[in-house]
A and B are shown apart, each in its own frame.
Chain A
Amino acid sequence: MADYPAPLARLVDELRRLPGVGPKSAQRIAFHLLKAPKEEAERLAEAVGQLQQALRLCSVCNAVTDREVCATCSDASRVDRVICVVEEPHNLLAVERTRDFKGRYHVLHGALSPLQGIGPDELKVQGLLDRVRGGGVEEVILATSPTVEGEATAAYLARLLKPLAVRVTRIAMGVPVGSDLEWADEVTMAKALEGRREY
């Protein structure tokens, strides 16, 4: 970036740190902002600045929110007796897109990963246990990823939750809707058979 003026080089360097943005894309974005009206660049800078200041974790479920308690947790129409546990805040949106789940959520902010040194202390587990101990929860759905790490996390949570006299369930694993069985791998197919249900 030696040929660019310092402010432009700095912006390109910062943009390159973003996921999915390579050097070419970073340059393209930087020049786009340079040519754009001043207000557009200021709006973007303000939005980025607000991101860290205005957003926080919900004090109940740990989802990302701009208030003390997020919209899902303060929604009185939702069912308190079921909590769906997900790894990351964006996983919550994946469950919400089904429009079928009307319970509450709990975000762990990760999964147990011995290989990366992520243990229970790095996850938001204690809050979940507190909510269950607080009473009124009948079922906890473990919606962690279908990976070895996700399975380990689900198994760990199940061990912690079962003594608290709550029903603990795990989301099913199987063949994606609209796909062809021919292309399903053997592990997925075995899991689909294992989780088959009576018609």
Chain B
Amino acid sequence: MPPISSDALVLRSYKLGETSKVVVLLTRERGKVRAVAKGARGRRNRYHSALEPLSEVRVGLYGRQGAELYRLGECELLRSAFPAGARGLDEAMALSYFAELLDAFSLEGEAEDAVYRLALAIVAAVEEGSPVTALARYLEAWLLRLNGLYPSLDRCASCPRGLPAGSLEYHAGAHGFVCSECGPASGPALTAGTGSYLRRIFGHAPSAVGAAGEDESASLESFHRDLIRRHLERDLRSHRVLRDVARGVRGVQGTPQLDERERDSLPRERKTLP
């Protein structure tokens, strides 16, 4: 049977047996698929760095159409996200978050060209050095919108009226922003600045949006996280890891060196086998 050939983005991989991996791919033609990459963890790994998260690859998949698990044959690396991820901690963590977000929002076997193009644009923007926090908000907003989950920024979710200029009042019961006549809204409220930043997101390429102000970025992050949680009915794993990493970095940078007595009072780590 001839292989199915497609361009794809590597979303993640996990161990299979001693030397192989299962790779989750976002393919252009067939949406999300899973494939076994035999020998990908072995000494003679023929896939080299092509299976790192968010690498763009051209793959040959073997197996009958609609199979749950394909066999990965050829895997030509078109563009690696590794150099972008190796640029620093923020970039490396952001790439993992983007991969998990894309994985969570993609359906197996359903091609979505807009999502694929969005993912490519985001990876390209990371490579160009765009701020990863802004790219995270961009990817979240667009994934939510492409899935029909982002509330309209122009029309009230409860009545046919347009939304007034100024802050955006979200009402959970209406699943959208509401006008003053349909309020009071349950919240959160997004400031006018956040609203105009969102319009920039929906009107420009990721590399052209630029960074939001600290407050706008924080409120948007929290708003998006709520929408994502409600849609997926769970939290993304990387949310907690990103939070813990940020806390760890802040903790060390803000803490003076400990003296002997303080060190002794630190909680001891587990000394048994994990």
Contact = CB atoms under 8 A, between A and B. Distances in A.
B241 A117 contact: yes
A152 B93 contact: yes
A116 interface: yes
Interface in B80-118: 80-83, 85-86, 88-89, 92-93, 95-97, 99-100, 103
Contact of B50 (A119, A160, A185): A185
A107 to B, nearest CB: 10
B248 to A, nearest CB: 5
Interface in A20-44: 20
Contact of A155 (B88, B237, B271): B88
A20 B80 CA distance: 31
Contacts of B12: 115
Dominant SS among interface residues on chain A: helix
B206 interface: no
Contacts, number: 119
A52 B53 CA distance: 35
A55 B273 contact: yes
B273 A64 contact: yes
B18 interface: yes
B261 interface: no
Contacts of B241: 112-114, 117-119
Interface stretch (B185-193, B208-216, B251-259): B251-259
Given A114-B100, A163-B252, A119 B240 contact: yes
Given A119-B244, A160-B252, A114 B263 contact: no
Contacts of B89: 152, 155-156, 158-159
A176 B49 CA distance: 14
Interface residues of A, number: 45
Contacts of B92: 148, 151-152, 155
Interface in B31-61: 48-50, 52-53
Contacts of B240: 117, 119
A152 B96 contact: yes
B134 to A, nearest CB: 19
B232 interface: no
A164 B88 CA distance: 19
B199 to A, nearest CB: 30
Interface string A120-137: 110011110110011000
A57 to B, nearest CB: 5
B82 A109 contact: no
Nearest to B54: A148
Contacts of B270: 57
A187 B237 contact: no
A112 B90 CA distance: 13
For chain B, which range describes its interface: under 10, 10 to 19, 20 to 34, or 35 or more residues? 35 or more
Contacts of A152: 85, 89, 92-93, 96
Given A56-B273, A186-B77, A187-B48, A120 B244 contact: yes
Interface in A77-131: 109, 112-121, 124-127, 129-130
Nearest to A22: B17
Contacts of B273: 52, 55-57, 64
B249 interface: yes
Contact of B96 (A19, A115, A160, A185): A115
B245 interface: yes
Contacts of B128: none
B96 A133 contact: no
Nearest to B81: A148
A114 B248 CA distance: 15
Contact of A160 (B49, B99, B248): B248
Interface string A37-67: 0000000000000001001110100101000
A3 to B, nearest CB: 26
A1 interface: no
10 contacts: A116-B14, A120-B248, A124-B269, A130-B263, A148-B52, A148-B85, A152-B89, A185-B77, A187-B80, A188-B48
Given A115-B53, A152-B92, A185-B48, 13 more contacts: A56-B272, A64-B273, A114-B100, A115-B238, A116-B237, A118-B241, A130-B263, A148-B86, A152-B85, A152-B89, A160-B248, A186-B80, A187-B83
